[in-house]
Amino acid sequence: MSRYDAIVAGAGFSGAVMAERLASQLGWRVLVLEQRNHIAGNCHDQYDDAGILIHTYGPHIFHTRHAAVWNYLSQFTEWRRYEHRVLGEVDGELIPIPFNLTSLRRCFSAPQASRLEEKLVAAYGRDARVPILELRRSNDDDLKSLADFIYEKVFVNYTAKQWGCRPDEISADVSARVPVVVSEDDRYFQDPYQGIPVQGYSALIGRMLDQPGIDVALDTALRQRVTISAPDILLDGKPFAGSLIYTGMVDELFDYRLGELPYRSLQFRFETLDIPQFQPVATVNFPNAPGLTRITEFKQLTGQVSERTTIVREYPQAYDRHDETRNVPYYPVFTEENRQRYQRYADLVKTIPGLQCLGRLGEYRYLNMDDAVANALERFAALEVSR
Ligand code: FAD
Ligand code: UDP
């Protein structure tokens, strides 16, 4: 008999929630295997040489409409209340993103803006949040040309850089994350609960994993300890009868036998400057600059006070598992073809009793942090019921 009841591969939010719940609620002994040299997955943060708390894998802002998720995480952290605001550089001007009524007034003359505003309100209602692909289907000529303007200036080039395709070539859910807003609300997210963990995400996830019954092995990829020999799972060469929860890439788990699932990667370029503040808001998007999509200034997220500041520039790129400079799979690519290929892997997962795949990579889904937590809490509840 193994001394563990469950193995969790990956110490990001998905893996940490499962490990924490299994240990604290069921008294299970859980072995967490993490291939990186740190916990917290892509939400990892750390202090840089200038003493600024930076997000290693790109800026992370927590937001949720789920009280249960907020309350659950609040056991492990206090929050800095923070509402994210983004400006986008369009024709040399900084305008609110998502494109809202203030953006409209910045981009058009007063009479034009007020006519378009009236039409937007009549068609969709005040405070509506209209996906750009829906606005482009408007039958009204003025709204149609407004949609084309926003599509061209805000979406088409940004999306080409981020995803390597046009907005209508990937799932409509992707561009709908940043809708056209028929109000002056300039917040990036409208969720009732928004914030940044006061001591950071690594500290939050560290507390989740710091439970009796949980052992964490860093620098340890699943395959170093576990072999899947369908339908059996072996831990250190011996049959393992417990649960295996895997939060890495599902195609990698099966040695790509049904083909590779495509991902997008990112290159982050960090820079520390000897000035207290670099830009007017935490994130500025550059839809039309070559290569670059956005710049984020960490102090504006964390509220840290310092004479220096650290920023990160993001350059999207294709994922290539053979190339060290682009081998972090940040985003699954949401096309119908890829979804079907993922489904074939999901069917394979079902043939191995005890195996569950979870998280952004394990389920090949665009999960925000709160989705990842909600999803893992649901998975835990289902597992608890099925025992
Ligand atoms: P991950 O965080 O990717 O964790 C998976 C872990 O598994 C990793 O640590 C990995 O090393 C490990 N692993 C993989 N394979 C193996 C293996 N074979 N063996 C052992 N370990 C393995 N969400 C928000 O809510 N707000 C934001 O502002 C936000 N910004 C984002 C910005 C960027 C640039 C990106 C890429 C994502 C952003 N997200 C944001 C999403 C957020 O990062 C995810 O929701 C979250 O990280 C999902 O957690 P996870 O545990 O499923 O995956
Ligand atoms: N998007 C865009 N221009 C912008 C902001 C977003 O075209 O200025 C599109 C782009 O396709 C992007 C998607 O909307 O991938 C979702 O944006 P979000 O900011 O949610 O992306 P994330 O923070 O997850 O990278």
Between 369-386 and 13-26, two packed helices, what is the crossing angle to 10 degrees?
A: 30
Q: Is 67 exposed, middle or buried (0-12, 13-18, 19+ CB in 10 A)?
A: exposed
Confidence of residue 94 (pLDDT cuts 50, 70, 90): very high
Provide the b/e sequence for 244-258 (b: ≥16 CB within 10 Å).
bbbbbbbbbbbeeeb
Confidence of residue 281 (pLDDT cuts 50, 70, 90): very high
What local confidence, expressed as pLDDT, does residue 304 receive?
Answer: 97
Amino acid, res. 181: V
Q: Please give the radius of gyration of the chain, using alpha carbons only, rounded to the nearest integer.
A: 22
Q: Is the CB of 65 under 6 A from ligand 2?
A: no
Six token digits for residue 229? 């020999």
pLDDT at residue 116 tops 80: yes
What local confidence, expressed as pLDDT, does residue 327 receive?
Answer: 92
Nearest ligand, CA of residue 193?
1
What local confidence, expressed as pLDDT, does residue 182 receive?
Answer: 98
The minimum-distance atom of ligand 2 relative to the CA of 59 is: 23
CATH superfamily of 6-78+196-260+333-386: NAD(P)-binding Rossmann-like Domain (3.40.50.720)
What local confidence, expressed as pLDDT, does residue 52 receive?
Answer: 98
Confidence of residue 230 (pLDDT cuts 50, 70, 90): confident
Confidence of residue 185 (pLDDT cuts 50, 70, 90): very high
Q: Is the CB of 375 under 6 A from ligand 2?
A: no
Ligand 1 centre and the CA of 42: distance in Å?
A: 4
Nearest ligand, CA of residue 151?
2
* Cβ atoms of residues 282 and 84 within 8 Å: yes
* Cβ atoms of residues 89 and 284 within 8 Å: yes
Record the pTM. Answer: 0.97
Ligand 2 centre and the CA of 222: distance in Å?
A: 32
* Cβ atoms of residues 120 and 143 within 8 Å: yes
What local confidence, expressed as pLDDT, does residue 387 receive?
Answer: 74
Ligand 2 centre and the CA of 297: distance in Å?
A: 17
The minimum-distance atom of ligand 1 relative to the CA of 15 is: 51
Q: Is the CB of 77 under 6 A from ligand 1?
A: no
**DSSP conformation letters of 64-81:** ES-HHHHHHHTTT--EEE
What local confidence, expressed as pLDDT, does residue 87 receive?
Answer: 98
Q: What percent of the chain has pLDDT over 90?
A: 97
Ligand 2 centre and the CA of 27: distance in Å?
A: 41
Q: Whose CA is nearest to atom 13 of ligand 2?
A: 175
Six token digits for residue 235? 């831990």
Mean pLDDT, residues 331-359: 95
Q: Domain locations in the chain?
A: 6-78+196-260+333-386, 99-181
Q: What percent of the chain has pLDDT over 70?
A: 100
Q: Could you give the CA distance from residue 137 to residue 140 in angstroms, rounded to a whole number?
A: 9
The minimum-distance atom of ligand 1 relative to the CA of 370 is: 25
What local confidence, expressed as pLDDT, does residue 35 receive?
Answer: 98
Q: Is the CB of 55 under 6 A from ligand 1?
A: no
What local confidence, expressed as pLDDT, does residue 385 receive?
Answer: 78
The mean predicted confidence, pLDDT, of the chain is: 97
Confidence of residue 274 (pLDDT cuts 50, 70, 90): very high
Ligand 1 centre and the CA of 256: distance in Å?
A: 20
What local confidence, expressed as pLDDT, does residue 2 receive?
Answer: 84
Mean pLDDT, residues 129-146: 98
